[in-house]
Amino acid sequence: MANGCPSCAAKGLRVEPVTLRALLRDEFVDSVTDEEFRFCGTVGCDTVYYSSGSTFTKSQLKVPVGIKETTGERPLCYCFGHSIASIIEELQTKGSSDALDDIRAKMKDPGCHCETENPSGSCCLGSVAKGIQIAKAELGIVASDVQQMITVAKPPSHRGEMIAKVGTLVSAILASACCWLPLVLLAIGVSGAGVASTLEAYRPLLIVVTFGFLAAAFYFTYRPKKAADDCCAPTAKGRLNLMALNKFMLWVVTAMAIVFLFFPSYVGLLLGTSDSSNVTENMNTVVFKIDGMTCEGCASIAKKAVRDVPGVLSVEVEYEQGQAIVGSDICCPVPKDQIIQALQRVGYEAQISEFSVAN
């Protein structure tokens, strides 16, 4: 459905069918369906509600649509009885209007019902603020002559909370990229050793950034929330549901961040290199010096590459020492050249450090 009003082409605001059913005259209520309706607030336009198949005009409503009128009472707040006419009277007697303060106080007790009282189906504070300016203009009052400054609070923004959560995930993913990115590159036939070395240098900083973003996300999610300055603010149940969803998403983000941060610790399990087979004295052994390993994940990649070489019986990769101890059956020599080539294919340089032959 096009958003433009069929009469004036202005873009209308979405309004729920419950508003139409509450404010249309009884003979028109049955014509309201559950399709999407929009409210036209253009001054002078006769159309109030429209959809792809229906249109309702001012004469079909039980109440006047004050924001569409230029003369008369022109009601603005349908819950507490404020209109342009009443605001003009206030300005003439006091030089200022208390309409906004009155609405903010009453929206807490006894509460408002804008969805079924206001033709727009939404909070009236914006309309009342505009109405005050219209009343001033009609009275010829200059804004600097009025003591009260009219402000309408914007709804609270969750942008900071979202940025913190996204930042947590991105930094955690980058902090572990030195381990998972080489695996991805190897899967498409590209060596990732150089990339891994570069990312490993920034890993400590990225870990700190991750926890910084995570702390900010917890702050934004659990900090005390101020009451919304909106007479159509969500109900208590709605606020609780939104808060519960935000907290759930925070803990999901936290769990994902931990999964990525500790990826180097369990990558061996994913690669199937965490077996307990050790090199023994009854094997022919060769110690290879390996350059390019930056974390335990690299050690797992190197171990898998060596273990897949035919003739290798057992292999132990020591990340801290930057070496691999490879064992073969006593009847066969260790395939040195094939092992060096296998390590080169996954992005590491290797050379023989020492070797021994079992007796």
Backbone conformation region of residue 298, classed left if phi is above 0, alpha if psi is from -120 to 50, else beta: alpha
Quick check: 38 and 51 in contact, CB under 8 A? yes
Contact between 42 and 8 (Cβ < 8 Å) = yes
How many CA atoms does the CB half-sphere of 114 hold within 13 Å? 20
Query: Which residues lie across from 220 on neighbouring strands?
Result: none
- Residue 142 is predicted with a pLDDT of 52
329 vs 238, higher pLDDT: 329
Decide if pLDDT at 209 tops 80.
yes
Query: What's the pLDDT tens digit per position in 245-264?
Result: 888 888 999 999 898 888 77
Contact (Cβ atoms closer than 8 angstroms) between residue 273 and residue 305: no
Q: Taking 50 as the threshold, does the pLDDT of residue 29 lie above it? A: yes
CA 145-146-151 angle, 5° bins:
135
Task: Identify residue 250 by its one-letter amino acid code.
Answer: L
**Amino acid, res. 137:** A
- pLDDT single digits (tens) 323-342: 999 999 888 889 999 999 98
Q: Range with the lowest mean pLDDT among 54-68, 140-154, 163-177, 206-220?
A: 140-154
pLDDT 10s digits, 40-61: 999 999 999 999 889 999 999 9
Q: Confidence class of residue 69 from pLDDT cuts 50, 70 and 90?
A: very high
